[in-house]
């Protein structure tokens, strides 16, 4: 999900002792945007958009009144749910989030299509170690295939520096004029993977609703992982559980990562966590894989970090 989303949408397997004195096991959120207060068309703080533009929302979240309140609220939500690490994606408040997070964020350098750095700047950020991932690449929003030459430099950099890259290849997103759901088919990533066979790629929203296509991609290419971010709270819970169950039954429970697609509403964290916790078809071990272990493996956390996160 990308900038100005109010306008865009219109809308224990390995646990040990919990970290930081928490009573909950650790979580990694692989999808957080550095946005502040969201403003509606009338200039007032905007409540969370609803799926299918329902009005009123079934269960709306209240707006947060200041950017400082957003950042503080998100960090407190991370504390409540013991989110020990989060991947920070594009947004206007990157510096503020990184400073307030005190090492809890892994920064991903975004592409240039919504004002982010160009390929040369991304190379500098990766070389210096300031950024440890790339994303999200907004191929659907630009209305081209992910194999288009416009995104080729970013995929090449991700392979060269051996860092993960996130692609927005999913059939739902902000309603920008250039958005093309037809360019969101996950199989369009196949040409990219063939060009860059060592690419560590994760796909937003598990490619929802392209279930057959994402299963095929996961089966063929073991370096591909997915996150379940916006679909944990934007679509109906039953629809999310149906989709998640399908991926798990297909054998890919070890390639699914937790995310929130947080963009300025701290209480989204609770809904996203509840969406996983309430899935009756997931075992405790499968939930821990989604919440932590899969991301720890994909992002290659050190044994020391993993032990610290579990309070060992």
Token pair belonging to 35: 């946005």
The model's confidence at residue 16, banded by pLDDT at 50, 70 and 90, is very low
pLDDT of amino acid 54: 58
Which residues make Cβ contacts (< 8 Å) with residue 49, sequence separation at least 6? 5, 6, 9, 10, 11
pLDDT tens digits along 231-260: 999 888 999 999 999 999 999 999 999 999
Compute the C-alpha angle 124/106/181, nearest 5°: 85
pLDDT in tens, 300-309: 999 999 999 9
Which pLDDT does position 10 carry in this prediction?
A: 35
Res. 182: pLDDT tops 60: yes
- 294 pLDDT more than 70: yes
Which H or E run contains 303? helix 303-309
User: Chain-wide mean pLDDT for the chain?
Assistant: 87
Q: Is 14 helix (H, G, I), strand (E, B) or coil?
A: coil
- Residue 132 backbone phi and psi in degrees, to 5: -120, 10
Q: pLDDT category, 59, cuts 50, 70, 90?
A: low
**Distance spanning both ends of the chain, measured CA to CA:** 35
CATH superfamily of 26-301: Metal-dependent hydrolases (3.20.20.140)
Please answer whether residues 234 and 174 qualify as being in contact, where contact means their C-beta atoms are separated by less than 8 angstroms: no
Instruction: Taking residues 106-119, report their average pLDDT.
Output: 84
Looking at per-residue confidence, does 267 or 10 come out higher? Answer: 267
pLDDT for the residue 53: 54
What was the pLDDT predicted at 20? 45
Burial 6-34 (b: 16+ CB within 10 A, else e): bbbbebeeeeeebbeebeebbbbbbbbbb
Cα–Cα distance between 34 and 238 in angstroms, integer?
Answer: 29
Cβ–Cβ under 8 Å, residues 151 and 173: no
Domain residue extents for the chain: 26-301
Task: Specify the higher pLDDT residue, 116 or 73.
Answer: 73
Give the rounded distance of the alpha carbon of 240 from its chain centre: 15
- Least confident segment among 16-20, 37-41, 236-240: 16-20
Question: In the structure, what pLDDT confidence band is assigned to residue 58 with cuts at 50, 70 and 90?
Answer: low
What span, in angstroms and rounded, lies between the C-alpha atoms of 38 and 8?
A: 11
Residue-wise pLDDT for 185-238, tens only, equals 999 999 999 999 999 999 999 999 999 999 999 999 999 999 999 999 988 899
Which long-range contacts link 50-54 to residues 24+ away (Cβ below 8 Å)? 50/11, 51/11, 51/234, 51/235, 51/236, 53/10, 53/11
SS3 83: strand
Tokens 């919990």 locate to 18
Of 55-59, 63-67, 183-187, 230-234, where does mean pLDDT reach its minimum? 55-59
Q: pLDDT digits over 147-157, tens only?
A: 999 899 999 99
pTM of the predicted structure, to 2 decimals: 0.89
- Which pLDDT score, from 0 to 100, does residue 18 have? 44
Identify which has the larger pLDDT, 233 or 285.
285
């Amino acid at each position: 999900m990308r900038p100005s989303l109010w306008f865009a949408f219109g809308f224990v397997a390995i646990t040990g002792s919990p970290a930081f004195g928490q009573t909950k096991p650790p979580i990694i959120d692989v999808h957080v945007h550095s946005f502040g207060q969201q403003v509606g068309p009338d200039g007032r703080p905007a409540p969370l958009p609803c799926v299918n533009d329902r009005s009123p929302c079934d269960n709306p979240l209240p707006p947060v009144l200041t950017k400082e309140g957003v950042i503080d609220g998100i960090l407190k939500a991370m504390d409540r749910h013991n989110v020990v690490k989060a991947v920070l994606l594009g947004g206007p408040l990157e510096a503020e989030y990184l400073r307030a997070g005190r090492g809890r964020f892994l920064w991903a350098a975004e592409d240039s299509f919504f004002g982010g750095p160009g390929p040369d700047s991304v190379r500098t950020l990766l070389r210096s170690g300031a950024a440890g991932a790339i994303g999200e690449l907004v191929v659907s929003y630009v209305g081209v295939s992910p194999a288009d030459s416009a995104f080729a430099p970013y995929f090449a950099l991700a392979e060269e520096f051996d860092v993960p890259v996130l692609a927005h290849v999913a059939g739902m997103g902000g309603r920008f004029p250039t958005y093309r759901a037809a360019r969101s088919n996950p199989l369009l990533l196949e040409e990219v993977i063939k060009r860059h066979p060592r690419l560590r790629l994760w796909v937003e929203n598990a490619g929802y609703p392209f279930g057959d296509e994402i299963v095929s991609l996961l089966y063929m290419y073991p370096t591909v992982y997915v996150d379940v971010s916006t679909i944990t709270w934007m679509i109906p819970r039953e629809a999310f559980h149906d989709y998640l169950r399908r991926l798990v039954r297909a054998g890919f429970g070890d390639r699914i990562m937790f995310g929130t697609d947080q963009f300025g509403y701290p209480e989204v964290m609770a809904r996203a966590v509840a969406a996983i916790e309430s899935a009756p078809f997931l075992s405790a071990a499968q939930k821990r894989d989604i919440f932590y272990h899969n991301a720890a493996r994909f992002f290659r956390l050190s044994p020391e970090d993993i032990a610290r996160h579990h309070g060992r």
